[in-house]
Amino acid sequence: MEVITEQGHLLLILACVFAFFMAWGIGANDVANAMGTSVGSKALTLKHAIIIAVIFEFAGAFLAGGEVTATIRKGILDPMLVADQPELLVFGMMSSLLAAGVWLLVASIKGWPVSTTHSIVGALVGFAVVGISFDAVNWGKIGTIVSSWVVSPVLAGSISFALFVSVDKLVLSSNHPFYSAKKYVPIYMFMVGFMIAMVTLLKGVKNTGLIIDFGLGSKFLNSMPISVVVGLLTAIVGGAVLTKVKPSASNQDDSANVERVFAVLMIFTAAAMAFAHGSNDVANAIGPLAAIVSVISSGGEIGVKAALPSWVLLLGGSGIVIGLATYGYKVMATIGRKITELTPSRGFAAELGAAATVVFASAWGLPISTTHTLVGAVLGVGLARGARELNFNIIGKIVTSWIVTLPAGATLSVVFFFMLKASFG
């Protein structure tokens, strides 16, 4: 307790630095996954993908990141086991942030698309088991999270598979693919606009104080009318843009003209993926920081209910977009080009399927792995064209990096925990 009262300010400053470092790693690794399909399919240039990600990642993190943050902050560990030694919780959360940040830096340098959720959860479990006790971990919650790592790629792959099959049936295999694309693409645009609006209204309004009540009962149903309107507006605006896309007179390949239409659509799906990712994965960086802020601001009291400060979300969102802008290109190349060949139509199906999965998980407060979701979505698109279209060598390397992430995060966290404990103890 004396450590908290005497050196609380220093601990908080270090915690903010570690959380920003972790958020930077998310941007360099996980956000690169999210935008890799857009860049790999050549629907967006690297510069344009970064601009879109900066805007929508930050919006998702700041507006809709609070609910998953609560799961990371309070659902993984039982903090009351260290109620008489709150400094242990602070040291543990700090060591987890630093451990996950270091591992993400290494993975990003190597171009490995690893899971930031794996990194932080593994780090939390590692410090808790060694630094507190085996019983400090909510193993039931861990089991739920682990199951989500299996469910999320399967769900994303299934949705993406179905979306690409619908694109193939309605557009690519039709008698006039270009005009079929301009006819059906606004429907997909409606789906993207509706999805973004739903997650914003279900989660984002918690931080603004806005209350939406049409007398429909549940919050979900009350959010439906506005989301439908947003979806329609998105479809109308997108449809207006598509009217300006004309077949290329110099290009007799109708499929190339179709892909130009889907390239326009991918601007919307990229924005949806960025928003969904920001709302879900910002928790990996600011969840532990939120716990630290709560303990220090209360003078060492654990379990005190306090609103999540807006500046914590601001710090996390800023770190994410800076990480993408400065070092996201390496992992982006892995996810966008090396698993399977992507075109705008295939990239659209993968992005929208992944975004839908992440958004639903975020609304449920379940911290899934965006990396697993995106890889599953890309695999689903590849399988829709046949298993021969997949690069199983690269897939094997990606899966191996996932397996290594958990023990790496746990080991680093244990080391940093004892270093911090020795330094401040």
d(CA 124, CA 72): 9
- C-beta separation of 344 from 50 below 8 A: no
- Say which residues have a Cβ less than 8 Å from residue 298's Cβ, sequence separation at least 6: 304, 306
| 350-370: pLDDT as tens digits | 888 887 787 677 666 665 677
Name which of 301-315, 333-347, 393-407 the model is least confident about. Answer: 301-315
Higher pLDDT, 220 or 10: 10
In this model, does residue 83 exceed pLDDT 80?
A: no
pLDDT exceeds cutoff 70 at 198: yes
Residue 248 pLDDT level (bands cut at 50, 70, 90) = low
| Range scoring the smallest mean pLDDT among 192-201, 370-379, 413-422 | 192-201
Q: What is the pLDDT at residue 68?
A: 52
Question: What per-residue confidence (pLDDT) applies to 140?
Answer: 81
Residue 379's nearest CA partner among 173, 156, 169, 165 is 156
Q: Quote the mean pLDDT of the chain.
A: 82
Q: Mapped to the 3 state alphabet, what secondary structure does 117-169 carry? A: HHHHHHHHHHHHHHHCCHHHECHHHHHHHHHHHHHHHHHHHHHHHHHHHHHHH
Looking at residue 176, its pLDDT comes to 84
315 contact partners, CB below 8 Å, separation of at least 6: 16, 19, 20, 23, 286, 289
Residue 123 pLDDT level (bands cut at 50, 70, 90) = very high
Q: d(Cα 186, Cα 241) in Å, to the nearest integer? A: 10
Exposed/middle/buried for residue 423 (C-beta within 10 Å: 0-12, 13-18, 19+): exposed
33 pLDDT higher than 60 = yes
What is this structure's pTM?
Answer: 0.81
Longest dimension (CA), the chain: 76
Tens of pLDDT along 278-293? 776 777 888 888 888 8
In angstroms, the CA 281 to CA 30 distance is: 8
Q: What is the pLDDT of residue 50?
A: 84
Pick from 119-128, 212-221, 392-401: least confident: 212-221
Of 10-19, 120-129, 142-151, give the lowest mean pLDDT range: 142-151
Nearest to 220 by CA among 235, 208, 206, 203: 203
Q: Which residue has tokens 């080009």?
A: 337
- pLDDT of amino acid 252: 55
* 125-166 per-position pLDDT tens digit: 998 898 888 888 888 877 777 777 778 888 889 999 999 999
